[in-house]
Amino acid sequence: MSRGVVIWLTGLPSSGKTTIAKVLVENLRRKGYVVELLDGDWVRQTINPDAGFTREQRRIHLIRVAWIARLLARNNVITICSFVSPYRDVRAEIRRIIEEEALFIEAYVKCSLEECMRRDSKGLYRKALAGEIKNFTGVDDPYEEPENPELVLDTEHYTLEDNVSRLINKLKEYKIIEDGDMKDHGDKVTIKLSRNLYEKAEEFIKDSGSFQSVEELIEFLLNEVLSEEQESYKMTKEEEEEVKRRLRSLGYI
């Protein structure tokens, strides 16, 4: 990847922005890419806990995020931002900041207000309609739809998988990621595992405390089974049983 990228997901609350973002992050990390997700809730809880919800407070909050995203992207981190970011002029300002050093992909996560209200997993629309929350986008504060986004992701009429695939194809179109399931890292490659097997491996690592990552565990197991040492080498019975035990715990055998 010769140039960093920021994917900016914008849309009404409960439109599906963060759901798409999390699946995209998981998909790209499995392929070996360095990815970071900046999510509205997380940023407000950690980096910017004093952020309010007036128009100017939202602008300041989002401009701070834009500079963080730019810093990540210029260091070749695929940066995914998931924010309501309701105002066109603020999104244009965000684009100008990021495009000085990185590619900017605006993805409008489209969903009708009625459907977002129906989903409302956090109960925020209900509270806003009851007057318990002020300046809530879609109720007493407007959402200005993007006029010319790089992508429109319709979460009301298309599946999560469809929308994630469209984002991945856009990254391929811009030559940010490669085709195929393997990414070359010089003397290392990334392999794809089934979700079930990967989760088993993560659980094993958590319980055992012996490895730092799934990749380290797999490399250890393969080195044990496919040792390149001289042909005269033979594992002891105890070593063989230990390898089998580890393989069995991961569902390989």
Backbone phi and psi for residue 108, each to the nearest 5 degrees, phi listed first: -85, 115
Q: How far is it, in rounded angstroms, from Cα 226 to Cα 69?
A: 42
- Among candidate residues 82, 85, 208, 227, the one labeled active-site is 85
85 is catalytic: yes
Q: Which residues are catalytic?
A: 85
